[in-house]
Chains A and B, each alone.
Chain A
Amino acid sequence: MLSIKNLSAEIDGKKILDGLELEIKAGEVHAIMGPNGAGKSTLSAVLAGRPEYVVTGGTVTYMGKNLLDMSPEDRACEGVFLAFQYPVEIPGVSTTNFLKTAVNQKRLYNGLEPMEATDFLKMMRQKMELVEMDKSLTGRSLNEGFSGGEKKRNEVFQMAMLEPNLAILDETDSGLDIDALRLVSNGVNKMRNTERSFVVITHYQRLLDYIIPDFVHVLYKGKIVKSGDKELAKELEVKGYDWIKNELEAAV
């Protein structure tokens, strides 16, 4: 599904990613952990195509295509979804209209007719149940005045509506209380299947109690320095990142 080779990227001339390697197969859940400033959010930004990040080297192949050549909107239409760490409030754009446009743009891209209004509303209702999102939120402006938890639920709701092949969750657990965390994780778990892959970026092991990963990677100084299974996350929780840092320095 996704093959990242020797990826380097910078922002404002500052190198953040430095030779990152990652292979993700269909249906897998990969957790990416690491200390602050390791490059976790940069990785998600580069995969989603955020314009201010400059890729200086390496390749990203997604379903056989060069992902880095595509505009952000084309990536989305090809099935890449980024759940934002800080979802943006957009006053004046209603959640419903926004989603209708997004869903139909993706259909248009894939040569399908726009969805009938009734089918669309039915789909909305079903997907909202997934994260137990309040119906009143969809009539309001996108994320405007939403609580932190509502915003994150809205991200997972959008993900459910757009049915991506590859979903990247950028610190979706940040700012969530335990109930919201459970709701969001349940939503994600219900979407797991053999076709769909996830990249779960998180600072803390806590989220991985709910979304059980197949692989755990530690990102440090712009590259993956250690990979393992879910036990690695638990080990990190106990020992902290210094353990990895020390191990690396000892090796040098």
Chain B
Amino acid sequence: MLAEIINSNFNRYASGAEKDLFFETRKQAFEAFETMGFPTQKNEEWKYTNIKGVTAGSFEMSDERPAHAKTIFEKSVLNEIKANQLIFVNGIFYPDLSILLEKDKSIVLTNLANARTEYSELFNRHFSKYAKTEEHSLNALNTALLNDGAFIYVPEGVKPEYPVIINHYIDSTHINVLVQPRNLMVIDKGAEITLIETYESIGFNASYTNVVSEIYVAENAHLEHYKVQQQAGESYHTNFTQMFQESNTSINQVTLTLDGKLVRNNLHFYMNGKNCNSLLYGLYIIEKQNTVDNHTRVDHAQPNCFSDEKYKGILKDQSTAIFNGKIIVHLDAQKTNAYQRNQNVLLSDEAVVNTKPQLEIFADDVKCTHGATIGQLDEEPMFYLRSRGIPENEARKMLLNAFADEIAERIKIPELVELLEKKIEEKL
């Protein structure tokens, strides 16, 4: 059972750790996790997602440094992007494989473990301040037993020349692994950056990846953030991303879920200042008996903010999708504009979608819409294409590509769009 494995791992960690603030944070998180335990389907937020495959499984935390990390990275499509690259395998940082292109040395691109000592002031100010541990047991679990992950700091007014790609490889070649990457990004006032988080698997044993990313966006800053999940096979992946926005900030976020046995994405935006602009787009392509669950939450806590959300899914075989989108407009958040849509195309009679767009509005001067659709590919466009000589299969592919295109066009990195197109081609 995973719970016992976690318990013994934390005890081992606690016996050797220095009893500082970091330790206290983790100890509290561990206690919170012990109290809450793994989420079950009795929890409303997990009603349709069963993580028995995780909790009943046996996973090990590994300190092993796989020798073949280099070859894997070189094969990756994202390797071709001219970008700063941070490489992690099973949560262990590989500085020798990482690529840092920025000439401006004020930009910090490093790992969290290093940041804790070298940038302790920044670390202590932001670490575990945004992703709540008391409500989300998997956040607590990550905080208690995190491996390592990216630490990024973009100073005031700085605009890095290249994007930053955070590559997390999960290697289950020899054993079933438990990996808990933890990323912390701080974008200071007026700064602008493009971040890509990607998760890929190596090996055929099972893996459980439990990620927490905290992203703080200070006044007038802009963030492009792309999350790409392509861990394959017996990969279980839960992810919690918390964006914390100060006033006059804008974020364009795209979440691509392209593979995995079970994927749960929690993406939360908290608008802590006025005039924020938050765009959330997602695409999931699911096959076999796999499950993809997207839970998003946008907290409009301040006036005059705008959010636009669109998640689209293509489901094959006996796959299951869950979408739960919450927009919460707080009492003070007058003049809020918030939009949310979820659209699903089912390619099989046996695929299932549970979708729940949710609005909770406490202010009175707001504009909000939400909606969801589930259906098969429309027959009219299909017949139109076929009547021009395009075979049924090809026509279906064209229409699905067109369906996905609405999300793809939100991505500003051509290589990433290419990767997406290639994946769609493979899957369909």
Whether A166 is near chain B, meaning CB under 8 Å from some CB there, is no
Q: Total A-B pairs in contact (CB under 8 Å)?
A: 73
Of A77, A92, A102, most buried by chain B (CB within 10 Å of CB) is: A92
Residues of the A chain whose Cβ atoms lie less than 8 Å from the Cβ of B390: 73, 98, 101-102, 105
Do residues A93 and B391 form an inter-chain contact, with CB atoms below 8 A?
no
Q: Are A51 and B379 in contact (CB under 8 A)?
A: yes
On whether A88 and B402 interact (CB within 8 A), knowing A105-B389, A105-B390, the answer reads: no
Asked if B413 is at the interface of the complex by the 8 Å CB criterion, the answer is no
Contacts of B394 in A (CB 8 A): 101, 105
A240 at the interface (CB under 8 A from B): no
Q: Which residues of A contact B383 (CB under 8 A)?
A: 50-51, 72
Known A-B contacts A51-B379, A90-B399; the reply to A84 vs B384 at CB < 8 A is: yes
A106 contacts chain B at the CB level, 8 A cutoff: yes
Within 8 A of A (CB), among B380-403: 380-381, 383-392, 394-395, 398-399, 401-403
A109 CB–B CB distance under 8 Å? yes
Residue A158 interfacial (CB < 8 Å): yes
Residue from A50, A71, A101 in contact with B392 in the complex, judged by beta carbons closer than 8 Å: A71
- Other-chain residue from B384, B389, B405 in contact with A88 (beta carbon distance below 8 A): B384
Provide the bound-state CA to CA distance between A102 and B176, in Å.
Answer: 48
A170 to chain B, nearest CB (A): 11
Q: Does B415 contact A (CB under 8 A)?
A: no
Does B406 sit at the interface, judged by CB under 8 A? yes
Point out which of A52, A82, A88, A91 has the most chain B C-beta atoms below 10 A from its C-beta: A88
> Which of chain B's residues have a CB closer than 8 A to the CB of A93?
385, 398-399, 401-402
Task: Report the count of interface residues on A (CB-CB < 8 A).
Answer: 30
Map CB proximity to B onto A146-163 as digits: 1 under 8 Å, 0 otherwise. Answer: 000000000000100010
| Residue among B380, B401, B402 with most chain A CB within 10 A | B402
Contact B386 A98 (CB under 8 A): no
Instruction: Check A92–B388 contact: CB distance below 8 A.
Output: no
Query: What's the minimum C-beta distance from B211 to chain A, rounded to whole angstroms?
Result: 31
* Shortest distance between the CB of A140 and any CB in chain B (Å): 13
**Is B389 touching A87 in the complex (CB atoms < 8 A)?**
no
Q: Given that A92-B406, A93-B399 are known contacts, is A102 also in contact with B384, CB under 8 Å in the complex? A: no
The answer to whether B384 and A90 touch across the interface, beta carbons within 8 angstroms, is: yes
